[in-house]
Structure 1
Amino acid sequence: MTTGPVANELTGDAAQAGGGAVTLTDPEFLVPLRHQMIKFATLQLRDPDLAEDAVQEALAGALKNQRPPKERW
């Protein structure tokens, strides 16, 4: 089970965790997320260098296209 800031963002509980909105510029969110992404990409690609490249591309694209969260209802 995923815990911490990553789980909070994925489940939408970031505000309830006491930290408010979590963004890709927040190191407390980004560091564990990047670690999990590299681990997953390495398992899928079976090449650590390709995994690192894929994660960098994904995070760069996410940061470039990041938008503020919309209010729900």
Structure 2
Amino acid sequence: MTHDGVAEWETAVLEGGPADGALIRLANRPGVVQVTHPCAVEDSTSGMRVEALYVYRRDLRVKEAPLRYGFDPASP
């Protein structure tokens, strides 16, 4: 949502998956939210960083805050 061309921040809750119950603040009601979680790397000298990626999709039936994003188990 925007007001006079400025995006308004809204609250959303993530449902299911590893971030179940997390409250987030976002603008412009994106259709998808990505959540990452760091993974341990065995070779610490590589300088590599590895993160698990989880995708949450907006529940379009919810029109007012808190918006809802459901975990997509088929995502990458």
TM-score using structure 1 length: 0.26
In terms of fraction of residues, the more helix-rich structure is 1
TM-score using structure 2 length: 0.26
In terms of fraction of residues, the more strand-rich structure is 2
**Higher RCO (CA < 8 A, seq sep 6+):** 2
